[in-house]
């Protein structure tokens, strides 16, 4: 099942499938380790559409809510 990052549960792990957005945005995420076929784990999500924190390669990244909705992830449910 493919969902966006905001729909993942804390602690859930999935595989990045697609990132929608401008080249700069995609490239920045790529260089931070978020790119298709990478394993991604949701760490936490903050109240009231706050930032989503995820872990990729041992490293945590905080992504704004709107950006997180443009990152699609495949999860097993």
Partner 1 sequence: MKINKILLMGNPNVGKSAIFSRLTGVKVIISNYPGTTVEFTQGYMKIGQERPMVIDVPGTYTLEPTCKAEDVACRMVEEGGLVINIIDATNLERNLYLTLQLLEKGMPLIVALNMWDDTKHRGIYIDVKKLEEQLGVPVIPTCGLTGEGIKELIDRLEEAKKKDLPASSDSQKWEKIGKIVEGVQKLTHRHHTLLERLEDLSIKPLTGLPIALGIIYCAFWIVRFIGEGLIGYIFEPLFGKLWLPLLMRFSAVLGEGSFLQHVLIGNLIDGKVNFGQSFGVLTTGLYVPIAMVLPYIFSFYLILGLLEDLGYLPRLAVLADNLMHHLGLHGYAIIPFILGLGCNVPGALATRVLEERREKFIAATLMAIAIPCMAQIAMIIGLVGQRGGKYVAIVFLTLFVLLILKGLILNRVLKGASPEILVEIPPYRMPQIQAVIKKLWMRLSGFLKEALPLVLLGVLFVNILYTLKIIDFFAYIFTPVLTGLWGLPKEAISALVVGFLRKDIAVGMLGPLNLSTKQLVVGSTVLAVYFPCIATYIVLIRELGIKDTLKTTSIMIVVALLIGILLNLIL
Tell me if residue 17 falls in helix, strand or coil: strand
CB proximity list for 45: less than 8 A, separation 6 or greater = 6, 10, 51, 52, 53
Q: How far from the centroid of its chain's Cα atoms is residue 21's Cα?
A: 13
Minimum gap (Å) between residue 7 Cβ and partner 1: 17
Tell me if residue 59 falls in helix, strand or coil: strand
Minimum gap (Å) between residue 38 Cβ and partner 1: 9
Minimum gap (Å) between residue 75 Cβ and partner 1: 20
Is residue 32 a contact residue for partner 1 (CB under 8 A)?
yes
Choosing from 10, 19, 40, 72, the residue that interacts with partner 1 (CB under 8 A) is: 10
In the complex, which residues of this chain contact partner 1 (CB under 8 A)? Answer: 10, 24, 27-33, 35, 43-51, 53, 57-67
């Amino acid at each position: 099942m493919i969902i966006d990052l905001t729909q993942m549960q804390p602690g859930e792990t999935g595989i990045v499938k697609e990132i929608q957005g401008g080249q700069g945005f995609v490239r920045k995420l790529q260089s931070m380790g978020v790119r298709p076929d990478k394993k991604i784990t949701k760490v936490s999500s903050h109240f009231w559409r706050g930032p989503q924190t995820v872990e990729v390669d041992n490293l945590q990244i905080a992504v704004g809510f709107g950006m997180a909705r443009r990152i699609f992830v495949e999860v097993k449910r």
